[in-house]
Structure formats: C-alpha cells, structure tokens
Chain A
Amino acid sequence: MAAITMKNIVKKYGDGFPAVNDVSIDVADGEFLILVGPSGCGKSTLLRMIVGLEDITDGDMLIGDRRVNDLAPRDRNLAMVFQNYALYPHLTVYENIAFPLRLAGADEKTIDEKVRAASSTLELDEHLERKPGNLSGGQRQRVAMGRAIVRDADAFLFDEPLSNLDAKLRGQMRTEISRLQKRLGITTVYVTHDQVEAMTLGDRVAVLKRGILQQLASPRELYENPGNLFVAGFIGSPPMNFLPATLEGTTVKLPFGTVEISADKAEKAAGRDLLIAGIRPDHFDDASVVDDSKLEHGSTFRTTVEVVEWLGNEAYAYIPFEAPPQVQEQLAQLERDLDGESLRTQLVVSLDSASTVAEGDEAEIWVDTRRMHLFDPATGENLTVDREHAGEIPALAMEAAAEQPAAAG
C-alpha cells in the first residue's frame, strides 16, 4: 500500500491540446479519492497516467516514494478495474483471477489459496469454472474486482466500473466497493461521472473540467462550499439554482424579491453591479410548513408555482424567471460545460412532502439565506466561499475561468 502523489501533471496530445493541465493531487495511504467531471474532462486520462497506460507529458507521478513516470504498467504494482471489465474470455473465472498471480510466478498452492479467498469474498465460488461469456453483468464486474484484489497491489484504480450496470445493481455494487475498500484499507482512485458515486464513496473528491482541477475537497465541503459556478452546478441533484442578483448593503435583490444576508458575506461580494446567487433546491421550502425557529434564519417571498413534481418524500416546484443577458450567457456556458442543454431559466424548489402547494398556486416560499452563495458572473468565482471548509481550490481554475468569457466572446 502506498500514497500516490501527482505533481503538476500535464498530458498533451499530438495536436498540443492539454487533456490534463497542471493537476496536483496527493492521495494519502488508504484514502478513497474520486475523480469526477463531465465527459472529456480528463479524469480517465489522469487515471491511465497513474497506471501507466498513457505517457505523462510533464510533471511527476509518485507512488510511495518512487517516481514512476517512466515505468511500464507492470512495474507499478497497481490493480485496475476497467469500465468494460476487460475479462479474458478464453479463460475461466478461476484463471482470470489467477492471471496476475501466474504472471508473477506464484506457486500453485499460493495461487489456489488466494484465488479461493478472493472468490469467497466476492461470492464467486460457484462460478469459478465458468467462462466470462456465461456470466451476468454483475458477476463479470465481481470477477474484474477479484482480479484486482487477488494481488497485493499498492493501490486500486477504478475506471467507471459501475456505468455498465443497471440502476439497482449499481447501488448494490457501490456499497460493495465501499465495504471492500474499507476492509482492505487500500489506496483507491475511482473515476466516475456519476455524482452520486462521487458523493457516497469518496473520502475526497477531485472535480475536473477540461483537464483543470477545479476543487479537491470532501463531498460535504464540495456541496456546501463550491469554489466556483462549475463545481456548484456539477455537485448536487437537482442542481443548484443560479439567479441574477444585485447587492445593496446587506440586501440582495433577486427576481422574486429581496433577501437579507449576513454582513461578512455582503462585504466579500461588495463592489460588483451584478452577481449570480446560488441557492440549492433544498434550501428553499414552503413557508407554511417551516418551523418558526427556522423561519427567522431566512427570508420569504411570494410567487406563482408553474409545475409541481410530487415524489413522496419530497416535492419539486418549478418557478420560471427572466435573467439579464449577461447572466444568461454565463449560465448557458455552464450548461455546455456540464454536458447539458441550456433550457429556459427556472428555479427548482424542493418542498416538504407535507406541503400542499399545487400547480398554478401562488405560494409563500422560504429561503435559507445562510446557505446562499454569491458568484462573480464574469469569472464564475464563488465570492462567499468559506475557504477553511472548501478543501483545495487551485489558483489555475480561477485563472482559466476568468479567461473563458473572453475566449467564448
């Protein structure tokens, strides 16, 4: 087992485009790190550089104390689970799991012991003599994991291992991976585009966009203190609401009305004409069902609800609003970054399931202003971020964000 240290890692392809640009991440021994981002953000490339399947253009990759930049994959002693499992179809499950041990030249007795230990951990005992072609998706996934855990590897690398499974199985395998990693206590780097996996599995999560590390923090820190618009929009489902806002003293003017914020937040955001306010859907509620003690922490406003989706444990209300072109442009860009389509601007509000607000009703909505963030519309930077509880926000992410509107324009 070993720590993995990435120092200013750069990957440039033939055309000079940096797929990974100056990424530095320390993965502590035994830590579960998630690399997350929309497609094309360089997360898989980064993982493949760790394992040695991609050359590193610049920077240092250390596993333990060893610089591994120029080592072949087989000399790095890492175990990897591929997105499509990459099982050897001509070998039985037993031989698939035994493959790394045979290559290492282990004797027959050791191989048998280790394979049987791995197969009982993963409940594959009854399938050992079958070929991968006859297994279900979940079983193949477990065989791929078996091949990884059978070795005494320094670290596990997962490349979107659950993306080929159906939703139910994915949930089961997710907890299975989490349990396995905790039991073995092995350093793990896990690539995913699924933010539920990112939030639930990781000790820390690295959010990437176009090859640039945006923020490296614990899931809670990412959720509560996103460093910029991109992270705020990427983490959380349904995503954070972004509203045009203007600040006067400690009063924030939103499309639906005005809300009060604390003095120190107002101070951080002061001096700009136009801001983007970010509020998560669950920081709103129907004022009529909110406790009085909570009510005083926020503000309320009246508005007409267009659509309500009732899900049983909660309900989502949709409220359309108009945004000035400056904000709209930034939001459209954000949607593109997130692989989404820019639809019309609307507010998503999570209501308590006890709420009886129906479509077309005018309702009084309460908003928890303590949780509101204010973003700079030009750079996307979160002005009100609590830096002590936001993990690492690399400076480069800020610079790149600042350059972006110019490039887009």
Chain B
Amino acid sequence: MRKIGVPVGVALILVWCLLPVVWIISLSFKSQSAITNGSPGFFPASGDGAGWANYVDVIENDQFRRAILNSIGISLIATLLSVIIATLAAYAIARLEFKGKKFVLTMALAIAMFPVVSLVGPLFDMWRSIGLYDTWPGLIIPYMSFTLPLAIWTLSAFFREIPWELEQAAQVDGATSWQAFRKVIVPLAAPGVFTAAILTFFFAWNDFVFGISLTSTENARPIPAALSFFVGQDPFNRPASLLAAGAVVSTIPIIVIVLLFQRKIVAGLTSGAVKG
C-alpha cells in the first residue's frame, strides 16, 4: 500500500503544480488565430500550430529584450547588495553584543510585514521629486528594503549555528577578524547566503506592483510590467500566444538561477567542525 501511495501522491502534487505551467507552454506554441477562434485541445490542432514563431517574435521584440535586460540587471544588483548587507548585518547580530540589537531585529520584521501597496504611493511621489522615477536604482532600493529583513533573519540563524570556536581558532592561527570572517565564517554560512540570495532574487524578479508603478518607459520597466504592456496591433485583441511565449521566456532565468544556487545549498556542511 505504501509503495503505491507515495508515487500516486507525488504524481497528484506534480500535476496540480505543473498543469498551469504546461498549459502556458502549450499556448505558446499555438498560432494567434487558433486562440482567437477557440482551441480547446492541449496539443494544437492541425494547422493551428505556430512552431517557434511566437518565440522568435517575442525575442525579436525590442521592448521585450529591453525588459529582460532590466529585470536581470535590477534583480541581480538588488540580490547582490541585499546579500552583502544582510551577511554583514546578520553576522553582527549573531556575534556582537550591542545596544539596540533587539530593536534592529524587530524593526526588520516590522518592515517585512508592511504591505507593499501602501508604500507605492509615497514612493512614486518621492522618486519623482528626487529623480529616481523610472530608473534602475528606483526599483533596486524598494526591492532591497523588502528583502533585507528576511535575508537578515535567515542569515543570523545560520551564523548562530556556526561554532564560535572556529572563528577564535582562526584568530589564534593568525587571522584578522576580517580574514576569519571571510575564510571561515562565510564559507560555512554559504548555504544560508544562497538561500537568502534565492529568496531575494525571487522577490525582485516576480515583483509587479513596484515594477508597474515606478516606471514609465522601457528605461527601467521589468518583465512582469512589460508583459502587461504587450498589446500587439489590436488593443482589443491581446496576443495571448505571444504573451504565453513571453511568460515562458521570462521563467527560464529564474529556473536557471534556482538550479545553480540549489547545488550550493548543501545541508550538513558544518558537520565535523566540532565534536558533537
């Protein structure tokens, strides 16, 4: 019974999760007219198939290419900065005793709880008056402020797990505090760092609210916002198959990044450091 139960359960969950994804892939291979006429089948009916035409159209579209570039650039910069700052902050919180430590942690949590929508209005106003509207930094900053708290919490939990003796041993062995941090602590916290990086990247890549409110041109517009502006020639007849192809293309980077980072998140890296 158990032997059958597990694969059946796994299959059910997979179908549940992957059906929309598979469906959008199916859509992206149908021609525009086929969708307008109604094409209920999973596989395109004969003559309705578009082959790679939708993908070629999407990639040849300047707006779309620019949006992909914006998204990758903004997300990577936000992730990088956020992880660096979070690593340093989390290390300080885990290892140092200072006044206001509790305050920092509570504030971080409070900020993470803030509804995104409530900040869009004031940010729109502020960014316009200080010239950050429709620029990369204009999106990087809010992304960082929403991902930093989570990254700090995740990372400080990781740092607390690392035995302090390791750092002390490094110092006795002749390392400066910075060397001990860089050569011993950071490699050991790598799984945590990559976890934080993935979470941050997700948030930045998937964000729509900031993306659509704080940009006005393709200067800084990220993919989710750009897709919504993707109307084609006829505004009353949106090119669904093109949009589907665009959605598939915009999912690829995130899959690549997750697969890359996932290999770094190896559990039990610290085993063997100390007797335990």
Contact = CB atoms under 8 A, between A and B. Distances in A.
* A and B physically associate: yes
B173 A82 contact: no
Nearest to A131: B272
Given A89-B188, A90-B188, A103 B271 contact: no
Interface residues of A, number: 32
Which 10 residue pairs are nearest across A and B when measured between Cβ atoms?
A133-B272, A84-B274, A86-B169, A86-B165, A132-B272, A100-B173, A89-B273, A103-B174, A164-B275, A73-B171
A99 B170 contact: yes
B272 A86 contact: no
A169 interface: no
Interface in A72-92: 72-74, 78-80, 82-90
Contacts of B184: 88
Contact of A74 (B175, B187, B270): B175
B145 interface: no
Contact of A140 (B170, B268, B275): B275
A408 interface: no
B217 interface: no
Given A74-B174, A84-B276, A103-B179, A133 B187 contact: no
A135 B171 CA distance: 24
B200 to A, nearest CB: 23
Interface residues of B, number: 26
Interface of B: 163, 165-166, 168-176, 179, 183-184, 187-188, 268-276
Contact of A90 (B170, B176, B179, B187): B187
B275 to A, nearest CB: 4
Contacts of A73: 168, 171-172
B97 to A, nearest CB: 10
Interface in A126-156: 131-135, 137, 140, 147, 151
Contacts of B168: 53, 73, 82, 86
Contacts of A84: 163, 165, 274-276
A104 interface: yes
A51 interface: yes
A53 B272 contact: no
A104 B179 CA distance: 12
Contact of A80 (B169, B271, B272): B169
A393 B175 CA distance: 39
Contacts of B170: 88, 99
Nearest to A75: B174
B171 A74 contact: yes
Instruction: Output the residue of A51, A74, A137 with the most chain B CB within 10 A.
Output: A74
